[in-house]
Structure 1
């Protein structure tokens, strides 16, 4: 016990002293390489490849670099790259361009309509290069002063069929969870609740092959609210829910596989009959889209790696580092395929 106390004292002392030590001029071996990220499927209407380059572990990145995504990307786009895709018989070139997303997450309060947002990247219309189930594709990228990169993926042949390959159990009752209350002068006037509906999805796995599956939920809600001027504004919100999941049939070949259960929010409601919705909104429609996909191994490993890297030990300085999966030769990143099925539900029924 004395030994343990002594060791703890030494560790504590070293830790406190290290807080006062500034380490400068760190020089680590570093070679810039291309990073590509692309996911393709037969259901695509627009193919996209994100092209960036590796960053040093230490140091800063120029603040004047352009960024991909709708303000959420952390990697600057490489301009002037040559990005091509081939199926072994024909090939096509991605074009660097800026596209407009009409369904942004920010809204104009005067109209209730989403504010269009732009995204810059390498795009190719699927009608010009259709993605076919069962085919193998090769993606290549070249950029000035950087090594060329390439990656290959095969689109799964199987597409899940509703009523045959999977089941979706919709909760027969709505879970009511007390969320908070409103009050006047400290007196509770009503309590309001977050209402949600539970979805339980299972997939029937095939015995004959190694399989990987993914699921994601999107809601599309249309509602109107008082504009404060005697009129109403209609607003549409389309957003991805937080209940995505990725599973494999490892050691479960041929069995029924279970995705994690999802609780999809229907909105806020009140126990006060005079104010049934504390946000003073009228929900016109609330639809849920469930996307089920058979994926290749690269898609599964990459996304599971992202989940692990952002897991519960994310804030623990002593947690083990998680390596992100990559199948790109000559660089880093992922090129993966999936075959998707879409199912829709009306959450108001």
Structure 2
């Protein structure tokens, strides 16, 4: 079996990434469908065919399919239209969380590509507070609490945005500016996941599941070092974004990261990136978000 390389273009609320995904597709160039959806953004779907191997090496690029029929069914039937930017879109957003969504993509000389995904219900942060510790105030511990639903597996992604306040001589006033927020945690819930994403622009993101606290009230404690939150200001505002992600999202992100971690390591085990597109490859997955902002004095 030969392998081919496909670009996976994922659209998130706060960031976008482009990743090379190795997929085992036999002797044919694979058809690819990608869509990460959430209730706060309109539908967007990428449909393309990946380039094949050339002389035993990967080729870069893909061929966009411009004449496909893209239909999503959930709270309503939505037909997406192709635009000049190279993807399919609509002004419609996904409806109520907790609903099952299906996608059907068809085009001439292409098998019908289908997938299913349930849009998770957002889980709210019940409360959050921070405390500065150590003699020199060089570390903050941020605590936040959630109530995990019982009798079901739940998957989460958390990241933090921060702002600090300082007096600007230029504006002759107190201003508020964004700050890079990194964090660490030794909580076993994260350790079980054996996974975290570090993004230098957005700070630290962690993806985990509720194996150790299913159906219980859970307190998380995150350690935030001085260099990521205390600059010129003495006040800081932190926003905790808690994403409730689908199982498909969780599996795709974890396997993608494991594959990325193994690149260039001749001793690493091959990792097959998760795919839930029937008759093709790619990802159809969703998430819902809740945001809790805490002012730290």
Q: How does 1:85-124 map to 2 (within 5 A)?
A: 85-87=72-74, 89-98=76-85, 120-124=86-90
Residue 300 of structure 1, aligned match among 250, 263, 266: 250
- 1:168 counterpart = 2:128: yes
Residue 146 of structure 1, aligned match among 110, 135, 138: 110
Instruction: Point out where structure 1 has 5 or more consecutive residues left out of the alignment.
Output: 1-27, 66-74, 99-119, 178-194, 269-276, 278-282
The superposition leaves residues 263-313 of structure 1 with CA deviations (integer Å, 9 ceiling, x where unpaired) of: 371265xxxxxxxx6xxxxx79965432212222111111121222233x4
- 1:216 counterpart = 2:155: no
Give the alignment's Cα RMSD to 1 decimal.
3.9
Q: Is the 8 A contact 1:33 1:146 kept in 2?
A: no
In the alignment, the residues of structure 1 paired with residue 65 and residue 219 of structure 2 have an alpha-carbon distance, to the nearest angstrom, of 40
Structure number with larger C-alpha Rg: 1
C-alpha spacing 1:123/1:308, structure 2 compared with 1 (3 Å): same
In the alignment, the residues of structure 2 paired with residue 86 and residue 34 of structure 1 have an alpha-carbon distance, to the nearest angstrom, of 21
In the alignment, the residues of structure 2 paired with residue 55 and residue 224 of structure 1 have an alpha-carbon distance, to the nearest angstrom, of 54
Instruction: Point out where structure 2 has 5 or more consecutive residues left out of the alignment.
Output: 1-24, 181-200
Q: How does 1:327-342 map to 2 (within 5 A)?
A: 327-342=276-291
Q: Which is strand-richer, 1 or 2?
A: 2
Residue number in structure 1 paired with 2:186: none
In the alignment, the residues of structure 1 paired with residue 57 and residue 76 of structure 2 have an alpha-carbon distance, to the nearest angstrom, of 44
C-alpha spacing 1:60/1:320, structure 2 compared with 1 (3 Å): closer
Q: What TM-score does the superposition give when structure 2 sets the normalisation length?
A: 0.66
- 1:250 counterpart = 2:232: no
Q: Is the 8 A contact 1:150 1:329 kept in 2?
A: yes
- Displacement of 1:331 in angstroms is 0.8
In the alignment, the residues of structure 2 paired with residue 124 and residue 260 of structure 1 have an alpha-carbon distance, to the nearest angstrom, of 40
Residue number in structure 2 paired with 1:81: 68
In the alignment, the residues of structure 1 paired with residue 36 and residue 291 of structure 2 have an alpha-carbon distance, to the nearest angstrom, of 17
Task: Indicate the SS of the match to 2:250.
Answer: helix
Task: Indicate the SS of the match to 2:272.
Answer: coil
